[in-house]
Amino acid sequence: MRNSLTTPTSRDPIRAKGVFMKRTMMKSKIHRAVLTDCNLEYEGSIAIDADLLSAADILPGELVHVLNVSTGARLITYAIEAPSGSGTIMLNGPAAREGYKGDLLVIITYAEYEETELANYAATVVKVDAQNRIKRS
């Protein structure tokens, strides 16, 4: 079976010439995490429980998009590591104005992929409970 994302076709002159572009795709997300705190006085970013960072393949300092399900706010910041097992999801600095304790958040990372990598592409989705513990399927 041909994969239209990775197989050049005569109907697509750019791909037919062997020119492929990189695509920005979702790499991972932490789905419906509960915001545990906001600290306006702390230096920027979002603090995330180390267990969740690891499960979602997010490194400290990595760019993250934060979508606030409760308010509709969206922001871009970077991740910092909170203590493992703490359940911490905390907006810091100016980002603290974009949420309230108890808000539901989706935290997303993106990566660039070569067209040839997309045949095996799968994003990592980490679902959490009300205490920000990883739900086991």
- 45 is an active site residue: yes
- Could you give the CA distance from residue 119 to residue 127 in angstroms, rounded to a whole number? 24
Contact 118, 35 (CB under 8 A): no
- Residue 110, helix vs strand vs coil: strand
- Residue 21 DSSP symbol: -
Q: Which of 42, 54, 78, 110 is catalytic?
A: 78
Q: Which of 4, 28, 42, 45 is catalytic?
A: 45
Positions marked catalytic = 45, 78
